[in-house]
């Protein structure tokens, strides 16, 4: 196991009694899917950004945002229990497809998932994005309300060279805008972020929520 992977896996684990460590682990895990939660995602994004924006170690950092297509319709059609099962299955597929131990896979909220890929340029991030899109598609989960007939995800990708005078939140925002674009293009596809693109409009937010 690479040393960097070991540091990532242990960076947030405290010293102290086992019970204390278990409680801390739970604070950073999503209760439904078992993935990391938004809190841990934000913490790791800031940590990686700080590490790779040092003058002596400028590096690239990528973020992937993925959203289950027509999830509200899935819940309406199959019920919330099946909806939860769907999210757990999709989460496992995404986590398995992001194979590097240095990557962070999190449930960002609702039916949205987010990945942090350290030392990854846009080409490398696109490979991972296609891998997770295909992994979910290949599950073949029936979805009568979807045009494809199965559960799929739309994916937005952003990557940049980090800098101390910039905000890591802009990378998440860019990936999220790319996700809106993937929804507009018909879903079950991947879009790459334009880092200079404007914030989404309310109508674009409504498209994403569908």
List, by residue number, the catalytic residues: 111
Return d(Cα 60, Cα 141) in angstroms, integer. 35
**Cβ atoms of residues 116 and 44 within 8 Å:** yes
Mark 81-91 as b/e (b = at least 16 C-beta within 10 Å): eebeebbeebb
CA 100 vs CA 31, 62, 158: distances in Å: 23, 13, 18
Distance CA 168, CA 184 (A): 25
C-alpha to C-alpha distance for 120 and 133, rounded to whole angstroms: 18
As a whole number of angstroms, the distance between CA 205 and CA 47 comes to: 29
**Cα separations (Å) of 22 from 6, 17, 38, 108, 179?**
18, 9, 18, 22, 34
Q: Nearest to residue 94, comparing CAs of 152, 25, 167?
A: 152
State the virtual CA torsion across 97, 160, 164, 24 in degrees, nearest 10.
-10
């Amino acid at each position: 196991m690479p040393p960097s992977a070991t540091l990532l896996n242990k960076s947030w684990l405290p010293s102290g009694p086992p019970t204390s460590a278990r409680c801390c682990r739970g604070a950073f895990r999503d209760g439904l899917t078992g993935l990391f939660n938004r809190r841990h995602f934000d913490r790791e994004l800031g940590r990686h950004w700080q590490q790779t924006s040092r003058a002596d170690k400028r590096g690239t950092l990528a973020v992937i945002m993925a959203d289950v297509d027509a999830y509200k319709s899935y819940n309406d059609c199959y019920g919330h229990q099946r909806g939860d099962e769907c999210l757990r299955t999709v989460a496992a597929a995404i986590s398995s497809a992001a194979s590097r131990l240095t990557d962070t896979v999190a449930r960002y909220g609702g039916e949205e998932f987010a990945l942090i890929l350290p030392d990854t340029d846009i080409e490398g991030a696109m490979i991972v994005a296609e891998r997770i899109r295909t992994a979910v598609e290949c599950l073949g989960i029936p979805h009568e309300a979807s045009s494809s007939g199965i559960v799929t995800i739309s994916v937005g990708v952003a990557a940049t060279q980090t800098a101390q005078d910039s905000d890591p939140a802009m990378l998440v925002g860019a990936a999220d805008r790319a996700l809106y674009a993937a929804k507009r293009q018909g879903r079950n596809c991947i879009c790459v972020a334009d880092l200079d693109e404007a914030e989404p409009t309310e109508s674009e937010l409504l498209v994403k929520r569908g």
